[in-house]
Structure 1
């Protein structure tokens, strides 16, 4: 179990939002967060996917999430990212404005969070959350219309649960992970049915 941070995440995000440097890189963000842990980084890259983003932005945010959640799954104590990713510009210069829009929602959510961790925030629970988060991060990389919100919400809940050591938030992460799997199954069945219909219609 990780220790909850003394400084609220909304304060950290607000500080990052005030940096209007259009060349803000992923490395700048990682250094700004310092030892804040996996939760802050996961929330930082997952939250923008909840709101409409320019084309390709979900891929930009999804790649770091794959690395971060994979390391959470194998119980790394510190986040490591390749130098190529560390030099990557985040959000096409739009990250500060995106964070500015997200901070008020984070503040509202934080009012309901408190340390109440047992099973889901145990070492084993965090590793399972890393596995579920890796699945959700992979879904964000896929160009599936309308399938971004559920995995993004799952990642945000996991992140808040890690930050505050809150089993209730972690439960929300698992709920939206299951919702993501259900959505993918329904999209697959729908796509299969459409393909079968078109094949029968085109065939002589």
Structure 2
């Protein structure tokens, strides 16, 4: 298990959110986050899906999450993003506004989290979390009504668990992943039943 960080994530997010540099890119944010990069970026792109968003927004946030979680799964040391994403300017944009909105909530959650546990926060546990996170990120890409909340919550829990090395937060992420599977199964069964009903009703 890694040692706890000397600077809290909330302090970094606050500093970034107050940065009005119009030339600041997503790559600059990744550098500022340092070794917290995976967890912090997952949190940053997953959290917006917990609130009502315009149609198509989950796809916009889901694409970076696919790249990030896939690299966490293969235990890549540094985050790589396509040049177009890496060079995307964040200064004065929605992402920086989101950073500022996230800070109060992150401060509250940080008080509950602490480094604990060795299984779910081990290197192998983090790779498994990357696999589950990739699944949740793919679900966010799909235009499935009512299926965004659970995977987004799972991703946020995984992110906080990675950042603070907290096994309980990681466990919550796995529970959120399980809930996502259950919701998808129920939606599939419901959709199949509706399709069968309509087929029988339309067919003479």
Asked if 1:188 corresponds to 2:185, the answer is no
Does the CA-based 8 Å contact 1:140-1:151 persist in structure 2?
Answer: yes
Does the CA-based 8 Å contact 1:2-1:162 persist in structure 2?
Answer: no
Residues 35-50 of structure 1 mapped to structure 2, 5 A cutoff = 35-50=35-50
Counterparts in 2 of 1:24 and 1:50: CA distance versus 1, 3 Å: farther
Does the CA-based 8 Å contact 1:23-1:93 persist in structure 2?
Answer: no
Query: Which shifted more, 21-30 or 68-77?
Result: 21-30
Please give the alpha-carbon distance, in whole angstroms, between the structure 2 residues aligned to 1:93 and 1:194.
42
Shift of residue 66, structure 1, vs aligned partner: 0.6
Structure 1 equivalent of residue 129 of structure 2: 129
Structure 1 equivalent of residue 61 of structure 2: 61
Q: How many residues align?
A: 204
| TM, length-normalised to structure 2 | 0.91
Does the CA-based 8 Å contact 2:30-2:37 persist in structure 1?
Answer: no
Write out per-residue CA displacement over residues 120-147 of structure 1, whole angstroms, 9 at most, x where no aligned residue: 0111111110100000010111111221
Please give the alpha-carbon distance, in whole angstroms, between the structure 1 residues aligned to 2:115 and 2:198.
53
Write out per-residue CA displacement over residues 59-100 of structure 1, whole angstroms, 9 at most, x where no aligned residue: 12111111111111111111111112212356x932222222
Please give the alpha-carbon distance, in whole angstroms, between the structure 2 residues aligned to 1:127 and 1:197.
43
Structure 2 equivalent of residue 198 of structure 1: 198
Shift of residue 30, structure 1, vs aligned partner: 1.6
Please give the alpha-carbon distance, in whole angstroms, between the structure 2 residues aligned to 1:113 and 1:23.
34
| TM, length-normalised to structure 1 | 0.91
Residues 18-167 of structure 1 mapped to structure 2, 5 A cutoff = 18-20=18-20, 25-88=25-88, 93-167=93-167
Unaligned runs of 5+ in 1: none
Shift of residue 24, structure 1, vs aligned partner: 5.4
User: For the aligned residues, what is the CA RMSD?
Assistant: 2.0
Please give the alpha-carbon distance, in whole angstroms, between the structure 2 residues aligned to 1:7 and 1:18.
17
Unaligned runs of 5+ in 2: none
Shift of residue 180, structure 1, vs aligned partner: 0.6
Query: Which shifted more, 1-10 or 170-179?
Result: 1-10
Does the CA-based 8 Å contact 1:22-1:94 persist in structure 2?
Answer: no
